[in-house]
Amino acid sequence: MKNLLKGVALAALMLAPGVAAAEVESDEPIVIVQNNWTSQLVLSYVVGKTLEEMGYTVEYAPSDSQLQFQAMADNDMDFQVEAWEGSMKSAFEKAVENGMIDAGTHSASTREEWWIPNYVLEKCPGAGSWEGLNRCAEMFATAETKPKGRFVGPPADWGKNYADRVDALEMDFEAINVGQAATLWAELQSAYDRKEPIVLFNWTPNFIESKFEGQFVDFPAPSDACNEVKEWGPNPNATGDCGAPHSGWLKKAASPRLPEEWPGAWAALQKIDFDNAQIAAAALMVDVDGMEPEEAAEKWMEDNADIVKSWME
Ligand code: TMO
């Protein structure tokens, strides 16, 4: 009944006079990119449903988080709502040189990094930094990695090669990548329930902060020099001996054809600006509450109806 009422409320919003603009510049579908982590899936539906309410035709296309940017530069896809500095900066900036549009920066501040539950600090008090963590590496060993510790790494297409960082910092860890995000959380939950040492890839904003107590592991702060100059950083013989930014940007990206073919949609998309809480809420509805991403998008739009309306004006 509650859901039915929400559906009615949403339908009313969609039919509200002055909101539904039937006349749009083109009925060609605007292709919205979808990636394989939860907040992006939910928020890309929020974007798509907003454009549909404005009268546009929308299509969703799944894409690799690195290759998507060149695809947008080539007008094969049109809009990405979540481009993360920590994992996508180089691919993003390269695509901008090739014509992709930087469609603006969200208010949200982001971080993508190795992460430990707080109980790990009881057995390894230094684990909040990479050097202290490394001294306890063996504690994180599994049958597969021993005597090295296991770092539970992200799916390969998220663009970070942590094996390279482990090499550059000469750490006693092995990066074992999961195939999908859900496996990261399953590994975390099972270690957490038994208070077993684990270090895994995580990011913020995410649902994790409302369900698990933990912290990111500090690595040497990133800089262009880290990736270009061997002498820079703790290892004078390697590049890549640094971590990801502590407060990274989160950007939107668009195809060059988007402003030209759908100027009304472009005006709306430029206004979209998410903060940390709004992104975490999108992930939580799926990863904690068990909703489908599309259903979560509808709920998100109800919860933030004024904001959605302001994009369309
Ligand atoms: C791109 N991600 C938020 C999964 O690190």
Tens-digit pLDDT profile for residues 48-104: 999 999 999 999 999 999 999 999 999 999 999 999 999 999 999 999 999 999 999
Q: Which atom of ligand 1 is found nearest the CA of 206?
A: 3
Strands of the sheet containing 200-204, edge to edge, are 173-177, 149-153, 200-204, 111-117, 214-216
The model's pLDDT over 272-293, given as tens digits with 9 standing for 90+, comes to 999 999 999 999 999 999 999 9
Residues framing ligand 1 (Cβ under 6 A): 37, 84, 87, 112, 158, 203
What structural domains and CATH numbers belong to the chain?
A: 25-109+248-312 (3.40.190.10), 111-232 (3.40.190.100)
Ligand 1: which of 33, 36, 40 to mutate, judged by most atoms within 8 Å of the beta carbon?
Answer: 40
Biggest CA pair distance of the chain? 66
According to the model, what pLDDT value does residue 9 have?
52
Between CA 68 and CA 61 the distance in angstroms is 10
Angle, vertex CA 203, rays to CA 43 and CA 164, nearest 5: 125
Higher pLDDT, 111 or 6: 111
pLDDT at 18 over 50: no
Give burial (CB, 10 Å; 0-12/13-18/19+) of 184: buried
- Supply the pTM of this predicted model: 0.91
Q: Using the mean position of ligand 1's atoms as its centre, give its distance from the Cα of residue 207 in Å.
A: 12
Task: Quote the ligand 1 centre to 136 CA distance (angstroms).
Answer: 26
Spacing, Cα 221 to ligand 1 middle (Å) = 19
Q: Ligand 1: distance of its center to the CA of 276 in Å?
A: 14
Look up residue 113 and give its amino acid. Answer: E
Contact assessment for residue 36 and residue 3, using Cβ atoms and an 8 Å cutoff: no
Pairing of the two strands 111-117 and 200-204: antiparallel
pLDDT of residue 161: 80
Instruction: Compute the average pLDDT of residues 111-136.
Output: 98
Q: What is the pLDDT of residue 90?
A: 93
∠ CA 128-156-48, rounded to 5°: 100
Average pLDDT over residues 112-125: 98
Residues 46 and 271: beta-carbon distance below 8 Å: no
Residues in the chain: 313
Neighbours of 112 (CB within 10 A): 24
Report pLDDT digits (tens) over 178-223. Answer: 999 999 999 999 999 999 999 999 999 999 999 999 999 999 999 9
Which numbered atom of ligand 1 lies nearest the CA of 88?
1
Rounded CA separation 130/169 (Å): 9
